[in-house]
Every structure is written in structure tokens, then in C-alpha cells.
Amino acid sequence: MRKLKPLSLAVMATALALMLAPAADAAARRWLVIVDGGHKAGEQILDCSPRGECRASFVFKDNGRGPEIAETFRLAADGSFADYRATGKTTFGSSVDERFSSSAGRARWQSTTERGETREAAGRLYVPMNGSAAVWELMLQLTAGRATPLGLLPAGEVARRTLATLTVGEGATRREVELVAFNGLGLTPEMVWSTPGGRPELFAFIVPGYLAQVPEGYERDIARLTAAQLEAESVLLASLPRRLATPMDGLSVIRNARVFDSENARLMEGLRDLYILRGRIAAVLPAGEGLADAKPVRSLDAAGRVLLPGLFDMHGHVSRWEGGLNLAAGVTTVRDLGGDNATVQQIIDETASGRLFGPRIVPAGFLEGESPYSARNGFVVSDLEGAKRAIDWYAAHGYPQVKIYNSFPRQHLRDTVAYAHQRGLRVSGHVPAFMRAQDVIDAGYDELQHINQVMLNFLVDDRTDTRTLQRFYLPAAGTAALDFDGPRVQAFIRSLVDRKVVVDPTLTTFDFLRQRDGERSAAYASILGNLPVNVQRGFLSGGMEIPNERLHALYNQSYARMIEFVGRLHRAGVPLVAGTDAIAGFTLHRELELYVQAGIPAPEVLRIATWNGAKYARVLEDRGSIAVGKLADLVLVDGDPTRDISAIRKVALVVSQGASVDPSAVYRELGVRPFVEAAPAWVAAAP
């Protein structure tokens, strides 16, 4: 699943549904949503009366899914919402039915997710859960020239600053716009393009490498808007490594650590001292034994804490902003599974040069087929020659793997897989439409992505179009009744084992299959209290249409059986890798908890998240275990995750790319309450 930056789900919906606020003389207006490769994926239409009463419609469809929203609203004298109503469908099919009203300082709101009221609404702006980006326009207007943050409803506040200006359009359409950053809505800044002045209008919204929404007629300006936004973001991002990472020049030593042997899934006997030089492990010795004549520049007393190799997230879609979330969680390597090629290359280069704060990236190339459902990142091809050219490009740019997607032409699948293998690349992916997982295994896949793609093997036939939302609803309804001990399922598991096919379950991201609107997400329930208030609010939003208790119980059963199936795969000998496909850092921790819930012992789960990650990302020669000569990608944990996997959240220290990172400091930067109260500190050697 394609994700945006980690922010409140309410703001995610807003970010997708851009529109301009009403003007007294406005006629109906239209904006286009453009995704990768210049493909139109949606539009926004807004019609406002001279009295400021507006009707809006928004439709966005990418990768076989997307919201459909209809809104009516009226503004109060202070420029905030007086009345608001939204109906429609969310991205995954649940109903939108949201209302808000405010009068004389008293406000009430109600949706499928939440309800509330306050007598202190004056001067505060309501943020809809599943509405359009009219709220961006109102934020721009209500914060223009304002020295203090703007209060929000139901909670929180937002502040703004202008980062850049640009001239767009030609002739009569020529106009000045400015890039504005909003802070306080999520874990990272939100960027929007605005007209200048005392009553600004929202102009555009850009997610570099994925999505651009602009007024019709300004499509030619998307590249310039994107470049200017990337440049402005670079200035903000460049300060993070300087403020949040401390270079480890000279010899350093971590003393008295309990070192995890990831290859054998156990803690080493006794305490160890680990020496680090120029970003690599120089020695691992029994505590106190010391290196002859060694004079470390700095030392840190681990005091019996557990020291792990850096964790791997094997299913990321990396952005420039999420690096801090990954590092603070102990994730030092992310395998990107299908990001925009230019964006991924840029992130790799910026991270390697120290301009970007984040984990190391292992890229997997994206291969999709041409169809109305196509996801348009990476290469979209129509024939075998196009697939071969794409594979050649990935091989030339250092990609160890390609990922095949939903609309890939099935008649060319076997030859494409064979060609990728010929070029030395692994092959993984979704199961293309009208095929089953067994078919792609027979065609030579090395790895399957997502537990739903695995379960669909038993729930589809050659007429089932899994490019639609059926790829979610069928497993939610059908997994509960599957006979895991029956011959069909057992034969499938044997084929995975015999052909050494890896499975990347991403169990956590499919928690939404059983979550109803208004319920706290079970995937993130244990950390909600640590998150900013508007991010907490977003985790009350489900996504699936679950209209009654019977279906809710069924979907819960199916999700529980998906977790059980992952345990069965492991015990049968199917290699697993731990990936997320959701909010960075936090999701991996939950993924590991679910593997333990599936019956996999915690030490073996840690092996999956370290050794297996390195092995199947093809970087085991320098990552994945704590051994002399390997990269010093290290995670020091408060507690013992080999006994209690949930202790993995208590990351006290991270070492990566020749620098030391204090996770608590990173979390505070992002507005997250740290998980470790008193982290160990480096002590400089006496002169």
C-alpha cells in the first residue's frame, strides 16, 4: 500500500482532497490530481455562492482505491467553519458521515469516528476527519500575520511559516505563490502552496515523487513547484543530522553490554565490550578484558542492557521526512519496495552524504503493467521488452531486487522473472490480477509481499480482479473458514518451503481489516499516549465498511487466523522478513509483537528482524549481526526483548553511519513522548 508521510489520518484525508475556500464572486472551479508519470487520478470541483455557502465534490482513484467525498459548508464571521457536512466513502470503502456546527462559542461535531462538543470554540478551527482541504485554506487565512499558533478542534494547535516563493503560469495566468509549512498537525511539517497576501488562497499540494494537485491549467508548473519544494525541504532537513546525531570520531567503546547473537538467536554468555572505529565494529571482547594499548576517545556503560544489530524494515516506502522515526525506533536499514525511482535515488544519495537524517536504504525496483488500476511509480510496462528495459535500468542502478505489482501482464510474468534472475536480481511482489500465489511461485518468485496476497491464494479464481478492493474484503471475510490443516493449504506451504520462497507478511498494516471507525487502532494502542494529540485522533479511523456485529466478529476471526498462519509458515520452515508498509518505526515494533503472538519465540523474532533482513536484502556481508568488521549499526535496549518483545520499543541508544543517536532527543523533536526516561551517555576519555 502506498503511504504518505506519517501524520494524523485525518490530515492524510485532507491532504488528498485539496480545494480552495470560497470567494464572493467565485464560479465553479476545478483542480486536477496528478500522480506519478503525469497520470490524472482525480479531481476536485468547488461551487460557492456569493453568500459563502459551498458545495464540493472530490474523487481520487489510484491503485484501485481512493476516497469519494461530497461536502457542504458555511463559514463563520471569524473565517472558521460555522456549519460543515461531509458524506461519501473513504479509501477502503467505509462510510463518511461527518457533521460540525458552531454558534456563540459553542461547537458540536459528530462522525462515524468521534463525537464531542465544547463551549470554548471561539478562535479555533475544526479539522474534519475525512474532509477536503478547505481546512488548509482556512488555516492559511486564519494564521496569516498571526504571531501565535492557531487553536484547533477537537484539540491541538498549528503554526505556520513561509519557506519559499515562486512565479507560476504565463501571460494572464501568471501569479506569485509561496510555500507554507504548517507545524503541529502531525509528526512532521505539512507543506502547501498558497497565494500571498492578507487573505491567501490555497494553490497546490505536492507530495514529491507521488502526487501533485494543482488548479486546472497549471499542470506545466508541477515540475517547478516540486523542485522548489524539495529545495526548501532540504534546508530544513539538513539541520537534523547536525542537531540529532553526534559523529563518533576515533575509537569508541560500549562497555558491559549483553550482546545478541542474531545468527543463532540467543544472547552471548556474559557481558561484552564492543569497540567501534570509523563506523565499523573493531572488536567484541569479554567485559573488562580490553584491547592492548587501546585508548578510546569515548566510552559508554551499557550497564547490562541488551545490544542488538540494527533492525531492518523490509517493507518501506521511504520519504525524506521519516528518517528520525526509523532511527529512534532502532531501524537502521529500510528496504524501499517501490518508491518513485528518482526520489529513492535522491534519498539514498542524501543519506550517504550525511545531508539527510535517516537509515540506510536498500532499493527494490517497481514493475507494474498498464491498466486503469495501475500504480504509477517505478516503471509501468505493456510488454516483455519494456519489462526487460526496466530490469536493465534497475540492475545498472544497484537494485538487488524488483517488485512486481497488481496489473503486471500475466502472459509475460514467467519470462520477466527469468530475465530478472539472469541479471542477478531477486523477484518479489504482489500477485498480479487473475492469478494466485501458487501461480507466481511456479513462475519463479523469490518472495511474496503481504499476508492478504498469500491468503487470496485460497479465495480467488481466474476471474477475480484483485486490483479492486476485493483484495482486502475477500481475505477479511474468507480467512476465518480456511482449513489450515487441509491438503490444499498444506500443499501450498510445502511449495513455499521447497522453493525457499520468503514471505513478507506486513501483518500490522492489515489491522485495519477488523478496525471499526471510532475504535482505537489495536496496532498502535500501546503507544497512543506518547503521540501528539492530532496523531492520536487519526488512529480512531478504521477504513473498511463493517456495518454489523456479525461482520466485525468475522473480520476479527480472519485477522487472528492470518496471525496464526504466519506462525505456521515459520514453523514449517518458510523464511520470514519483518516489514511495515505503514508509519515508520512504530509499526515494526508492533509487527514483531504479532510474530510472538503467532507463536514464534522472541529470540527468533529478533533474528527475523536482523539476520533475515540482511540476508534477503543481500547485505549480510556488512549488516545483520554484531561481528568484527561489520558496520556498527547497533541498537541498545532498556530491557530484554529476548524475553519480552515489547521491550524493543525502549531504545536507549542507536549507532549508525558513524554517529550516535539519542532516540529520546529525536522523539522530543517530533513531539513524541520518549519511551526511555534516562538514557546512558557517552563519557569522553580524560586527556
What does the pLDDT look like over 83-109, one tens digit per residue?
Answer: 999 999 988 888 899 999 999 999 999
Handedness of CA 380, 384, 390, 394 (dihedral sign): positive
What type of residue is 44?
Q
Residue 208 near residue 191 (C-beta atoms within 8 A): no
What does the pLDDT look like over 435-489, one tens digit per residue?
Answer: 999 999 999 999 999 999 999 999 999 999 999 999 999 999 999 999 999 999 9
Cell 505456521 belongs to 568
Question: For a pLDDT cut of 70, what percent of the chain falls above it?
Answer: 95
Distance CA 259, CA 626 (A): 8
Q: Phi then psi for 394, rounded to 5 degrees?
A: -65, -40
Distance CA 492, CA 485 (A): 11
What does the pLDDT look like over 250-309, one tens digit per residue?
Answer: 999 999 999 999 999 999 999 999 999 999 999 999 999 988 788 999 999 999 999 999
Residue 338 near residue 313 (C-beta atoms within 8 A): no
More confident residue, 198 or 601: 601
Distance CA 558, CA 507 (A): 12
Q: Band the pLDDT of 1: cuts 50, 70, 90.
A: low
Q: What angle do CA 170, 22, 94 make, to 5 degrees?
A: 105
Three-class secondary structure assignment of 18-81: CCCCCCCCCCCEEEEEEEHHHEEEEEEEEEECCCCEEEEEEEECECCECCEEEEEEEECCCCCE
Report the CATH fold assignment for 311-623: TIM Barrel (3.20.20)
What does the pLDDT look like over 27-70, one tens digit per residue?
Answer: 777 778 877 667 888 887 878 787 778 888 888 888 778 889 99
pLDDT at 687: 65
Task: Tell me whether strands 95-103 and 81-89 are parallel, antiparallel or unpaired.
Answer: antiparallel
pLDDT at 132: 73
User: Per-residue pLDDT for 10 more than 70?
Assistant: no
User: Per-residue pLDDT for 7 more than 60?
Assistant: no
User: 225: Cβ–Cβ under 8 A, 6 or more apart, which residues?
Assistant: 166, 168, 177, 193, 204, 206, 212, 214
Mean pLDDT of the chain: 91
Distance CA 430, CA 63 (A): 12
Q: Where are the domains of the chain?
A: 9-243, 311-623
Cα dihedral angle (408, 409, 415, 416), rounded to 10 degrees? -20
What type of residue is 94?
S
Distance CA 605, CA 617 (A): 17
User: Residue 672 is placed in which grid cell?
Assistant: 513524541
Q: How far is CA 24 from the centre of its chain?
A: 40
User: Per-residue pLDDT for 15 more than 90?
Assistant: no
Residue 356 near residue 598 (C-beta atoms within 8 A): no
Q: Phi then psi for 389, rounded to 5 degrees?
A: -65, -40
What does the pLDDT look like over 186-203, one tens digit per residue?
Answer: 898 999 999 998 889 889
Q: Band the pLDDT of 423: cuts 50, 70, 90.
A: very high
Highest mean pLDDT, choosing among 284-293, 381-390, 524-533: 381-390
pLDDT at 311: 98
Among residues 560, 562, 632, the alpha carbon closest in space to that of 274 is found at 632
Among residues 546, 647, 561, 557, the alpha carbon closest in space to that of 603 is found at 647
Residue 416 near residue 379 (C-beta atoms within 8 A): no
Half-sphere exposure of 259 (CA within 13 A, CB side): 25
Half-sphere exposure of 491 (CA within 13 A, CB side): 8
Among residues 318, 331, 336, the alpha carbon closest in space to that of 399 is found at 336
User: Per-residue pLDDT for 534 more than 90?
Assistant: no
Question: For a pLDDT cut of 90, what percent of the chain falls above it?
Answer: 75
More confident residue, 517 or 405: 405
Q: Band the pLDDT of 490: cuts 50, 70, 90.
A: very high
pLDDT at 11: 40
User: Per-residue pLDDT for 211 more than 90?
Assistant: no
Q: Band the pLDDT of 222: cuts 50, 70, 90.
A: very high
Q: What angle do CA 392, 432, 491 make, to 5 degrees?
A: 110
User: Per-residue pLDDT for 111 more than 50?
Assistant: yes
Q: Band the pLDDT of 3: cuts 50, 70, 90.
A: very low
Distance CA 20, CA 194 (A): 10
What type of residue is 362?
V
Mean pLDDT of 64-80: 88
pLDDT at 65: 81
User: Residue 291 is placed in which grid cell?
Assistant: 584491547
Instruction: Give the three-class secondary structure for 315.
Output: strand
User: Residue 591 is placed in which grid cell?
Assistant: 509487527
> Which secondary-structure segment (H or E) carries 470?
helix 470-478
Cα dihedral angle (160, 165, 169, 174), rounded to 10 degrees? 100
Residue 130 near residue 111 (C-beta atoms within 8 A): yes
Tell me, what DSSP letter sits at residue 612? I
User: Residue 62 is placed in which grid cell?
Assistant: 489510484
Helices then strands, each counted (H, E), the chain: 17, 34
User: Per-residue pLDDT for 4 more than 70?
Assistant: no
User: Residue 371 is placed in which grid cell?
Assistant: 491498466
User: Per-residue pLDDT for 16 more than 60?
Assistant: no
